[in-house]
Amino acid sequence: MTPETTLILFKPDAVAKNITGQVLARFQAQGFKIRGIKMMLLSDEILAEHYSHIADKPFFPSVRGFMQETPVIALALEGEDVIARVRDLLGPTDSMAAAAGTIRGDFGHKDGDAKMRNVCHASDSVEAAQAELKRFFAEGEIFNY
């Protein structure tokens, strides 16, 4: 099997709670390889593109506001079946439904914001990963070694 590369975004709740290192360590413990990592502020434009499927919804301004509370950390992560495996490690999008031992179960928000304040975004398919990696990393920022 050929290794895949996926995008992970450490969301503002993970950055603010200073848990990014603990979460990254869980990914690395699975043998995944960092191919790119950077901290960045997300512009209105990049958020509108990334969330184009909900950009016209009345709740989008609150999503945008949350994603701009702090910088985020963008991570390009490589490994065998990394997309599915990372999503399994994270647990369900709703942190309140995530089991203990998953990243969202252990670190996610446990109230009405549990679907948004859920530690990380992760690509959900090879096609999404390819598009998202191009959105968050410029040419030359993802490394092969």
Residues involved in catalysis = 121
Neighbours of 87 (CB within 10 A): 17
Say which amino acid occupies 23: V
Alpha-carbon gap, residue 137 to 74, rounded angstroms: 8
Say which amino acid occupies 111: D
Supply 57's token pair. 């919804």
Nearest of 76, 55, 62, 78 to residue 117 by alpha carbon: 62
27, 86 contact by CB (below 8 A): yes
Q: How far is C-alpha 62 from the chain's CA centre?
A: 18
Q: Return the C-alpha torsion angle 135, 140, 142, 145, nearest 10.
A: 170
